[in-house]
Amino acid sequence: ADLTASFHDHTFQTPLMNASGVYCYTTEELDNLLASKAGTLVTKSATINYRAGNPEPRYRNLALGSINSMGLPNEGLAYYLDYVLKKQADPTVPTLFLSVAGISMAEDLDMLSTIDQSDFNGLTELNLSCPNVPGKPQVAYDFEATEKMLAAAFERFHKPLGVKLPPYFDLTQFDIVAQILNQYPLAYINTINSIGNGLYIDVDSETVAIKPKGGFGGLGGAYVLPTALANVHAFRQRLNPEIAIIGTGGIENGADVFAHLLAGADLVQVGTQLMKDGPDVFTRLAAELADIMNAKGYHKLADFKGKLKTL
Ligand SMILES: O=C(O)c1[nH]c(=O)[nH]c(=O)c1I
């Protein structure tokens, strides 16, 4: 089976990559991702300046996934922009993704201007769905703010741009959001971000799992797979075909990768399972996906991508 993934005018050795926020804070972690079977990588969502983030413990692996309230800790935009600019000079390095998540629209626009004026030749991911900055509601649950943000972004940003979206749970929300997104020349959407503000309770200790926000945090892992698949498929059915889709959420094995691709994803991102297994997870996921494709007689991703059947 050929796992080569095409995404606009880029090709990747596999459709697999990390989810922003996981294994992508430092240049060491990012280099380890490049050395793995991941097709490419995305950097931790950046603010203009360094952010310490929320108090620890702020991430926990759970039997059925994970919960996190990191609070947008990152080294600052320049750190990640320097990294991708240095790496893109190396012809053996695939096209890279750079993520930004300002805590205000003004900060987002400043960062987009900085990137636009740089020589970055990869794709930029505007994170509209961080659920863990205390006092900052998610942009993407405010449809007016989302529309204003996209209009302002495309006024000043001329490189390929994608948006990271939260999960939606109502079909009319898919209709409304897709109608907004279809008005802009987006390169892609990335769906889903963690399911915001879940609450894990440890019965033995009668305590929450993480310190920030009284234990409320974004859910990842197996908990979120059906919601992730629904968002991938709902947007594939509604978005202009020029807007590609990155499927994120709940991938533990090759079958989950296959399901995301079947639902319409062009690339997939792995968060919780990468946190649990490290970058070797991409070797396993690639092998498991290839086995499934071989068993089904598929030779390349286009043979089944987006071809989910209904009853
Ligand atoms: O708490 C975080 O840093 C975080 N955590 C998430 O689960 N999604 C996000 O977009 C972010 I910016």
What is the interface pTM, i.e. ipTM, of the complex?
0.99
pLDDT at 273 over 90: yes
Other C-beta atoms within 10 Å of 108: how many? 23
Answer yes or no: 129 catalytic. Answer: yes
Predicted confidence at residue 121, as pLDDT, reads 98
Which among 20, 66, 129, 194 is annotated as catalytic? 129
Dihedral (CA of 187, 32, 19, 135) sign: negative
Burial class (CB in 10 A: 0-12, 13-18, 19+), 83: buried
Other C-beta atoms within 10 Å of 2: how many? 12
Other C-beta atoms within 10 Å of 37: how many? 18
Q: How far is the centre of ligand 1, averaged over its atoms, from the C-alpha of 141 (Å)?
A: 15
Q: How far is the centre of ligand 1, averaged over its atoms, from the C-alpha of 101 (Å)?
A: 9
Read off the CATH number of the domain in which 268 is found. 3.20.20.70
Predicted confidence at residue 131, as pLDDT, reads 87
Which atom of ligand 1 is nearest to 132's Cα? 1
By most ligand atoms within 8 Å of CB, the mutation choice from 23, 132, 164 for ligand 1 is 132
- Convert the pLDDT of each residue in 118-137 to its tens digit: 999 999 999 999 988 888 88
Q: What is the mean pLDDT of the chain?
A: 98
- Convert the pLDDT of each residue in 32-53 to its tens digit: 999 999 999 999 999 999 999 9
Burial class (CB in 10 A: 0-12, 13-18, 19+), 214: exposed
Task: Indicate the helix (H) or strand (E) that contains 219.
Answer: strand 216-220
Give residue 118's domain range: 5-53+72-194+221-303
Asked if residue 90 is part of any domain, the answer here is yes
Q: Residue 149 is which amino acid?
A: M
Asked if residue 126 is part of any domain, the answer here is yes
- Convert the pLDDT of each residue in 138-184 to its tens digit: 999 999 999 999 999 999 999 999 999 999 999 999 999 999 999 99
Q: Is the CB of residue 65 below 6 angstroms from any atom belonging to ligand 1?
A: no
Answer yes or no: 6 catalytic. Answer: no
Asked if residue 29 is part of any domain, the answer here is yes
Asked if residue 16 is part of any domain, the answer here is yes
pLDDT at 256 over 90: yes
- Convert the pLDDT of each residue in 176-220 to its tens digit: 999 999 999 999 999 999 999 999 999 999 999 999 999 999 999
